[in-house]
Amino acid sequence: MLLDTSDDVARRVDAALAALTGESPLPLEVSADPAAVGTATVELRWREPSLHQHGPRWPGPGGGAGSTWPSSDPGGAAGSGPGLLVGLGTPPAGSADAPAAEPWLVAGLAAGACLDRDVVLLPPASGPPPDDAAAAALGCGLAAGLLGTSADAPATDPPVVHLTGDLAPLLPAVRRGLAEGAAVHLARLLTSAPPGTATPARTAAWAQRGAAAAGVDCEVLDEHQLAEGGYGAVLAVGAGSAEAPRLVRLRWRGAGERVDLAVVGKGVTFDSGGLSLKSAAAMQSMRSDCAGAAAALAVVLALAARRAPVTVEALLPLAENLPGPGAVRPGDVVTTRSGRRVQVLDTDFEGRVLMADALIAALEGAPASADREPPRLLVDVATLTYAAPVALGDEVGALLARDDAAAAVVLDAARTAGEPLWRLPVAERYRDQVDLGWAVRNHPLHERGRAITAALFLGEFVPRAQPWVHLDVAGPAWRGDASAEGATGFGVRTLLEVARQLEG
């Protein structure tokens, strides 16, 4: 289903915010009470070669994770009523690029999109059973899948998923996953929204609305406040659009004053390339260029909704990159909030410019303070370069970090969350491609290694002593063609897991 009208978008976003912040109940419940079990079933299965060699193919020609197949005889404890077989793919090898929780998340999304009645969830008869991480991923998928297809109004009689047998002890993990699914759903919805509706100002207003509901501190800087504050990089990216840029800062104070996790999310609500105009085909899905900001917003609201004992801050730099009369020209020099200058050689390399100011702001705090302790961990998430999916394909995100310990924290969280990340090097040998001494240039003048040089550019605005991780999610942030609601919400579960590890 494609979002089509401003009213429709507003209604759906309001409903998603209400579900995430607890203003309305989720349209799905989970129970371990066997007395309430009906006859409809959802059975999970690993792909078993014998089923393909000596009988009908199941659950469909590929048998991959997320494949679904109707069944009139699931053969489980719930009886022989109509059911749904959901594929888990082949049993995972447990490698870093194939997290063990990933098939459970994918299977949950597929099953959730089909739920219209109470069901009993049957564990797989063979292959690895779910643990807490897999159960949370499954719950996240069930909620996100159902929310993506359900009506805007809260369900008066939501379907119940009943856990049986060995699954019953996993009830708390599944419930945690349901709440995470609401966060994933919001990120997907904001990213897929038409850019003429999800403008910088409108997106900032949604952030304010969610923050008010969740008890999150929220500050929004408009174009006048950005100019007064010296945010020249944010202003430069948005200079060609009639829709003025915004910078949103959200903080959930769940622990002490020091920020445990600061997240900067790239929020280009539409990217035409500016004066360095993209081709028509390359522009078609560029409403997705705000996926990082959508993820960062969803994470802070989700942590606040469960009153997480961790202090988290998110910076959302929001702008449209258009070739209007005031647009920045290739060759222009802009000054960031820190005073460091940026030479813009290609206006389609705008994300790193926008994020420079936001990284500086994340390290300063609000209000800016010279004696503020820096965040324990700074993570930025962005659909930043085409080079990342060229290297890693469309399903694996790129992680770049100067600090091995910081990289390990995020990689471990991603494996637990079921979101595949792969570490690329921050190769200092390429630094002279971006560092001119008197300025940093946004284009390296080289065709190769651009995911690395993008990280090197961002690193010019992050002190070397600061634990910092850069996530380039240009590949896995979107699935399908430009007409689809293709946003995946990639990164939300990883960041929530990072925060969970930092709690206390």
Residue 109 contacts residue 143 (beta carbons within 8 Å): no
Q: For 274-321, what is each residue's pLDDT tens digit?
A: 999 999 999 999 999 999 999 999 999 999 999 999 999 999 999 999
Residue 498 contacts residue 375 (beta carbons within 8 Å): no
**Is the model's pLDDT at 169 over the cut of 50?**
yes
Q: Which CATH number fits domain 193-502: 3.90.25.10, 3.20.10.10, 3.40.630.10, 3.40.50.720?
A: 3.40.630.10
Q: Which CATH architecture has domain 6-178?
A: 3-Layer(aba) Sandwich (3.40)
What does pTM read for this prediction?
A: 0.94
What pLDDT does residue 83 have?
Answer: 84
- In the DSSP assignment, the letter for residue 294 is H
DSSP H/E element including 251: strand 246-253
Per the prediction, the chain carries an average pLDDT of 91
Do you find a cis peptide bond into 367, omega within 30 degrees of 0? yes
Reply yes or no on whether 352 is catalytic: yes
3-state helix, strand, coil in the chain (%, to 5): 40, 20, 45
Q: For 308-347, what is each residue's pLDDT tens digit?
A: 999 999 999 999 999 999 999 999 999 999 999 999 999 9
Given 202, 266, 352, 441, the catalytic residue: 352
Kindly report the number of other CB atoms within 10 A of residue 447's CB atom. 7
The residue assigned the tokens 């047998």 is 165
**CA-to-CA distance for 126 and 471, rounded, in angstroms?**
35
Given 175, 209, 253, 278, the catalytic residue: 278
Q: For 183-238, what is each residue's pLDDT tens digit?
A: 999 999 999 999 999 999 999 999 999 999 999 999 999 999 999 999 999 999 99
Q: Cα(first)–Cα(last) distance of the chain, in Å?
A: 41
Q: How many helices (H) and strands (E) does the chain have?
A: 15, 18
Q: How confident is the model at residue 150 (pLDDT cuts 50, 70, 90)?
A: confident
**Mean pLDDT in residue range 28-40:** 77
**Is the model's pLDDT at 269 over the cut of 50?**
yes
Domain assignments of the chain as residue spans, ordered by start: 6-178, 193-502
Q: For 355-383, what is each residue's pLDDT tens digit?
A: 999 999 999 986 666 678 999 999 999 99
The residue assigned the tokens 């919400």 is 489
Q: For 245-262, what is each residue's pLDDT tens digit?
A: 999 999 999 999 999 999
Residues with Cβ within 8 Å of residue 195, at least 6 apart in sequence: 269, 270, 286, 287, 320
Q: Which among 463, 499, 164 has a CA at the least distance from the CA of 308? A: 499
Reply yes or no on whether 429 is catalytic: no
